[in-house]
């Protein structure tokens, strides 16, 4: 048994990204925004809150574009 994470450090979930970037105040708010179709990833609506983002992905919420940097 090891203590290695389940996913690489350079991968970030969409719901976590929204919370970290300050777009959503809570994880619950991020979940609702994603499920309502208010979030685009690389120009496409994505309703998967566990969507894995990688460096360079562009997330758009309410006309605000954010680039995943790490």
pLDDT in tens, 2-55: 444 455 556 799 999 999 999 999 999 999 999 999 999 999 999 999 999 999
pLDDT score at 2: 42
Query: How far, in Å, CA of 23 to CA of 17, rounded?
Result: 9
13, β-bridge pairs: 52
Q: Does domain 12-67 sit in CATH 1.50.10.100?
A: no
pLDDT score at 11: 75
Annotate 16-50 with b (16+ C-beta within 10 A) or e (fewer). Answer: ebbbeeebbeeeeebbebbeeeebebeeeeeeebe
Q: What is the mean pLDDT of residues 52-60?
A: 97
* Three state DSSP letters for 43-61: CEECCCCCCEECCCCEEEE
């Amino acid at each position: 048994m090891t203590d290695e994470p389940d996913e690489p450090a350079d991968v970030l979930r969409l719901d976590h990204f929204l919370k970290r970037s300050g777009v959503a105040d809570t994880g619950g708010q991020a979940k609702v925004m994603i499920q309502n179709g208010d979030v685009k990833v690389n120009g496409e609506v994505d309703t998967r809150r566990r969507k894995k983002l990688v460096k360079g992905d562009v997330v758009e919420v309410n006309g605000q574009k954010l680039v995943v940097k790490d």
